[in-house]
Amino acid sequence: MTISQSAAQADRPNGDVIMELDDTSVEFGMSRGRSRVLNGVDFEVSRDEIVGVIGESGSGKSMFASAMLDAVPEPGVTTGDVTYYPEDDDPVSVTDLSKEELRRFRWEEVSMVFQGAMSSFNPVLKIRTHFVETLSAHDYNVERGLERVRELLEDLYLEPERMLESYPHELSGGMKQRVLIALSLVLDPEMLVMDEPTAALDLLMQRSIISLLHDIQDKHDLTIVFITHDLPLVANLADRLAVLYAFEFAEVGPADDILEDPAHPYTRALLNATPNLSAPLEEMRPIEGESPDPVNIPEGCSYHPRCPIADEMCRSHDPDAYDAGADHDVHCHHWEDSIENIDNALASSGSMDRSRRTAADRSADEEPVVSLDDIEVEFGSENDGLLDFGDSEIVTAVDGISLDIYQNDVVVLVGESGCGKTTLGKTAVGLQQPTDGTIEYKGRDIWEGSGNSSTLADKEIRRALQIVHQDPGSSLNSHHRVRTILETPLKRWHSDLDGNDRRERILGMLEYVGISPPEDYIDRYPHQLSGGEKQRVALIRAMLINPDLILADEAVSALDVSLRVSTMDLMIELQDVFNTSYLAISHDLSNARYFAEKTGGRIGVMYLGELVEIGSPEQIIHDPKHPYTQALRWATPELDRDEDIDDNPMRTIDVPDQTNMPSGCRYHTRCPKAREVCRTQKPELIDRSDEDGVQHTACFRALEDHEYWDSEPIAEEPPAAEETGSAD
């Protein structure tokens, strides 16, 4: 491929550099000023390396990726130099390429994988057509290209012919993301830029794709720039890590150095703010303050308003790159003593010390607040009524689950998408009527007297059972001010309060949760709040009516990693104040561990509508009995680079089709420890509690004298096609 280039291009830099950014900025004109979303960055990407670019939402990660391909959307303006260095050709000025040259460059030399796989495909075209159109547009031989496609799909553990003949909606999220990776590699590019490519996927699929990237990079001699807000996700993948803060790099260096000996206070704070499975809870602390506005970036070091060791030099002088070691640059005036100083500063903040009763204590002497007994929830043609068009199938979302939730209790449900977590949670708080089984609130059936209505008849039960949604932006009415949003539940449930009383209560709650000064926020609209502020308003709205149980549906997953610990700490504080219980839902085992362990709660593991294990965080994290829990434990990314990510504990990646559930133990199609008896017999929950806490697991391996041990192991070949369906 021949691409025109600027005559003024400099010589190739030292080392085998494939991409170089020199004083590169991205700006957008706004009514309130110039928004600089990438601020004069200098960066080099070496050939055949994997670079992990880390940063909070709004730090400039996506603009950095777009600048490398000169793909900043209008009216954004890119300035500075972006240079691509082909292996055996002259340098290329990316920003000087014509539209046609850019089109070819972006597929043939540098390819991009975006976060939303579904939006990257035309929903009315088969997957084969997407590949054919791409090959044809670049004058590649289609037949030879499709042979490469089949090879790529097999490398990604996908069945080529089935994928090629499918429409995008027929594939799970993980399948679509892997097909998108194959599409990005079909023209054999030299470099792959991946912008949050696994953000919408479950832990197991994330970890599987990360493992696959190692093999793909080695087999296809790729350079990869992996952009993410999730530091543990790339800890074992990247050769180098680059930490973005406020639209510029705070620290860049070898991954081992960044993780083991970070030199920038922000990097250190980010590591401390990241929930994980191995670090003591008291070492996990939130980052105080918020990222700066791109229209009003602070003078001096942009991190100084949040930095506990900032001084006058930090406030007045923007630090250049200091040499912190081999290939290790840090933009901090005090980098040599920042680690000791920031640890001392953060240690003074301490952590919440809570003495909580365990689940065993509660069950021994308390009646549950909410009790679920043999709950089943089905969706499909038999329940569709007038909307039944005869082409739907029954899906059992929840299958025979019993669970007791006590006063001031915490239960966190974890599992893959489609496992039934949210359905079970909504059923527990009366937002979904079960197909079978009963839900009792303080001994009373919550659906008693409701008839065929989908609304609870008892208003007191409706008040007692509340929900906090995953995305506060969509759960808060965008047309209402904070005052109106929070007054509404008070007017309904506390009609004795007058306008002044309501205002004072709202101001007091805003102040309590750290939204201060509250008078400045009470008349704002949701779009004028940050993500963390929106979620705090949503928490206040739920708490104002003194509920007994709150369903927290992925309440922190939409937040930056730097906000998750602080939000969970706030939820725990509010629990103490209002004496409420949480049924929390999370796909992230690290978040589940933090929340449950700090509250003396339990973690429940769901798989295809069933509760396969439940117990104390200590038991679930450090001594899981069920192979699926062990797989979730393997899939949870850690900051330890010595951890082996290649030892995949599953026989196959994809989840079975929920309309055609496997017989026997539903996990047997993916379980490496499954035996013939697992195909036909369904295990019940078995009590494996000990001095470390309560634990029940649905696996024959928990019984020493079960016929499982004399049964033949299931062959190692993948399950039949009908058992590897598409529901993600």
- Residue 196: pLDDT above 70? yes
Cα gap 666→458, rounded to integer Å = 37
Q: How confident is the model at residue 652 (pLDDT cuts 50, 70, 90)?
A: confident
- Residue 728: pLDDT above 60? no
pLDDT, tens digit (0-9, with 9 covering 90-100), for 518-548? 999 999 999 888 888 898 999 999 999 999 9
- Residue 352: pLDDT above 60? no
pTM, 2 dp:
0.87
pLDDT, tens digit (0-9, with 9 covering 90-100), for 105-117? 998 999 998 776 6
- Residue 407: pLDDT above 50? yes
- Average pLDDT on 635-652 reads 75
The percent of residues in the chain predicted with pLDDT above 70, rounded, is 89
719 vs 325, more confident: 325
Cα gap 38→314, rounded to integer Å = 20
Concatenate the DSSP letters of all residues of 290-324 into one string: -PPPTTSPPSSSTTTTT-TT--HHHHH-----EEE
Residues 6+ apart with CB under 8 A from 597: 281, 617, 618
The percent of residues in the chain predicted with pLDDT above 90, rounded, is 59
Domains of the chain: 17-238 (3.40.50.300), 259-347 (no CATH), 359-479+525-723 (3.40.50.300)
Q: Which two tokens stand for residue 254?
A: 């070898």
pLDDT, tens digit (0-9, with 9 covering 90-100), for 567-616? 999 999 999 999 999 999 998 899 999 999 999 999 999 999 999 999 99
Output the pLDDT for position 81.
Answer: 96
Cα gap 728→718, rounded to integer Å = 18
Output the pLDDT for position 135.
Answer: 94
Q: How confident is the model at residue 10 (pLDDT cuts 50, 70, 90)?
A: very low
Cα gap 268→343, rounded to integer Å = 8
Q: What distances in angstroms separate CA 500 from CA 503, 504, 542, one per listed residue?
A: 5, 6, 20
